[in-house]
A and B are shown apart, each in its own frame.
Chain A
Amino acid sequence: MIMRLALQSLRNRWVTALLTVLAIAVSVMLLLGVEKVRTGARQSFADTISGTDLIVGARSGSLNLLLYSVFRIGNATNNVTWKSYEDIAKLPDVSWIVPLSLGDSHHGFRVLGTNSDYFTHYKFRRGQSMSFVAGGPFKDLFDAVIGSDVADTLHYKVGDNIVIAHGVGSISFVEHADKPFRVAGILAKTGTPIDRTVHVSLEAIEAIHIDWQSGAPVPGQSVTPDEVRKMDLTPRAITAAMVGLNSKLATFKIQRAINNYSEEPLSAIMPGVALQELWGLIGTAETALSAVSAMVVVTALLGMVTMILTTLNERRREMAILRSVGATPATVLGLLAAEGGLLTLAGVVLGTVALYVGLYFARPYIDHAYGLSLAIDPPRADEWVKLALIVAAGFVAGLLPALRAYRLSLADGMMIRT
């Protein structure tokens, strides 16, 4: 009875009611959307590297090692000697090891020296492998494989020649111009730092520095690309290495063994654990996002209360007529509270549906443009609770104008104000 009255009353004021529902819908969409982006961002972050059991570098903190080896941020404290690399590779439980050598750049993008195994062993997004949109891994000494952002920004295609700069600044005065590289492959977008990396072979890193001393070319001493091919290009040092193990059970044993390696101070970190530590540091932004979206919901509910309150004046007659035909003050109270609740419920349902529809269509675009993979999964338990709370808050908010109407006497509505 009350519900039917409330519905019909709302139908008479459908424009304002619709706008209120929309306002609540948008706020609910934002609340749930922020939650989706938040979990998506967290997941994408955690998905930056997977399948690698340990990352080995010079002795340093786990975050530092993770930042320079995976995110290409900052620099290594020290290098790892090739001898140690070989020792680790020989450990019984080590299944594969991929060297990483950083230090040069190309138009602000980091250059990573590695080997072809990198393309098979580096996994992201729970075991997804890299794929090539054009070309393939290195075949020649001076072949380079570039990430998708590098290709997009610098408009490179397979076969282009590029010159690598010494050091990591975006403007460099020392270049390896005598030994240009050829773009051999372009990687598909991964949403990870790989997109912003130029990959070359470890031997090539050695080759372009072979006639250099103390970080600068030696005048009058130049080794041509053809001469360098005949030289021994075994690197003396690398920056870090990714290690895969035969069994997860060996993870901590090998980690401890590397950390206690007495010939060189090394650190072995578990990338998954370090990622989590890093997220713990930057995760404060998550709380801020949630707080903002919660405030938006509060604003929308306030708007609804305002709407009902302002229309109350116009509805003095409606209330009075209801009272005169025998409705008790309690019925009027229930009517207005139901109105608030119905509006909120409609807003919540509309907002949720709109979010999932929007998510369905925007998902491929967001993934491609931002490397953010948003999951389309039903609201989690705590989200259901949030939605229920919003509807409950709508009922309570409706009570506010209802109490006002409750207090107004029957006579008040009957009198004609001038």
Chain B
Amino acid sequence: MLKSLTGLAAAVFVLTSPAVADEAGHRQLGPHVHGQGTLDIAIEGKKIAMELVVPGMDIVGFEHVPTTDAQKAEVEKGKAKLTDVLSVFKFPASAKCKADSANVENRKETHHPGEKDDDDDKPGEPEHAEFHATYSITCEAPESVTGLETSYFTSFSGAQLLNVNIATSKGQTQAQMTRDKPTLDLAGVM
């Protein structure tokens, strides 16, 4: 169900460049490293936009198209956990944050978010798949967002590292959250 929701990200270009190259013309793949995910955080005013891209391996332990009911349930469970963004990424309580929207997809990495998954996925076929989550959060007291803590690593045993890219009106920076250090310091850019 969540799959059908449209991710905004690629839609921008799909709209502005009508001539999307055909299948044979242009192929590209993003990096895919098991154990490592990317978290993008953009903050402006009271709004926080976050995007999480992680290999399926980290979330459910397999990346093929789910075949058994158990595997399908795993994927749904992973999605459900990731959807509850504020329990995965905990902002300071004093910031009074609430999630406006959370959208989690499990997709083959060749797909751009929002694109229709129209090729014939054969169940069980080996394939790199990733979870792609987009979040929109509003914080009443954004000045209190001096950092965040994540339960991501305790929830998903396959995950080891999150590369975090941060963009705020103060500037841009990069940080890492790991199993040993599941916290992020935002004091420098807020």
Contacts and interface: CB of A to CB of B under 8 A. Distances in A.
A and B pair up: yes
Interface of A: 46, 50, 53, 87, 90-93, 126, 247-254, 256-258, 260-263, 265, 270-273, 276-277
A270 B12 contact: no
A248 B173 contact: no
B66 to A, nearest CB: 26
B68 interface: no
Nearest to B48: A249
B168 interface: yes
A247 B45 CA distance: 10
Contacts of A254: 12
A250 to B, nearest CB: 7
Contacts of A251: 40, 42, 167, 172
B1 interface: no
A263 B167 contact: no
B171 A252 contact: no
B125 interface: no
B9 to A, nearest CB: 5
B167 A270 contact: yes
A252 B51 contact: yes
A252 B16 contact: no
A270 B16 contact: no
B173 A276 contact: yes
B9 A253 contact: yes
B44 A248 contact: yes
Contacts of A249: 42-44, 47, 49
Interface in B124-171: 165, 167-169, 171
B108 to A, nearest CB: 14
A248 B167 contact: yes
Contacts of A252: 9, 40, 42, 49, 51, 165, 167
- Identify which of A260, A261, A263 gathers the most chain B CB atoms within 10 Å of its CB: A260
Given A90-B16, A92-B12, 4 more contacts: A251-B172, A260-B13, A270-B167, A272-B171
B10 interface: yes
A273 B26 CA distance: 28
A270 B165 contact: yes
A87 B44 contact: no
A263 B19 contact: yes
Contacts of A87: 16-17
Nearest first, the 10 closest Cβ-Cβ pairs linking A and B are: A272-B172, A252-B40, A251-B167, A262-B21, A257-B13, A248-B44, A273-B174, A249-B49, A257-B12, A270-B172
Contacts of B42: 248-252
Contacts of A276: 173-174
B80 interface: no
Nearest to A52: B172
B30 to A, nearest CB: 8
13 contacts: A53-B167, A53-B172, A91-B13, A249-B42, A250-B42, A257-B13, A262-B13, A262-B26, A263-B26, A265-B28, A272-B167, A272-B173, A276-B173
A50 B169 CA distance: 10
Nearest to B22: A262
A273 B47 contact: no
A68 to B, nearest CB: 19
Contacts, number: 83
A273 B165 contact: yes
B8 interface: yes
B145 to A, nearest CB: 14
Interface string B1-26: 00000001110110011011100011
Contacts of B20: 262
Contacts of B19: 263
Nearest to B53: A256
Contacts of B40: 251-252
A247 B49 CA distance: 11
Contacts of B17: 87, 261-263
The CB with the most chain B CB atoms within 10 A, among A247, A253, A263, A276, is that of A253
A263 B13 CA distance: 11
Nearest to A254: B12
A261 B172 contact: no
A258 B12 CA distance: 10
A273 B164 CA distance: 10
Given A90-B16, A248-B44, A252-B51, A277 B169 contact: no
A258 B16 CA distance: 11
A332 B180 CA distance: 50
User: Most chain-A CB neighbours within 10 Å: which of B9, B12, B28, B165?
Assistant: B12
Contact of A257 (B9, B47, B49, B174): B9
Contacts of B165: 252, 270, 273
Given A53-B167, A276-B173, A260 B44 contact: no
B96 interface: no
A273 B13 contact: no
A38 B172 CA distance: 20
A138 to B, nearest CB: 29
Contacts of B12: 91-93, 253-254, 257
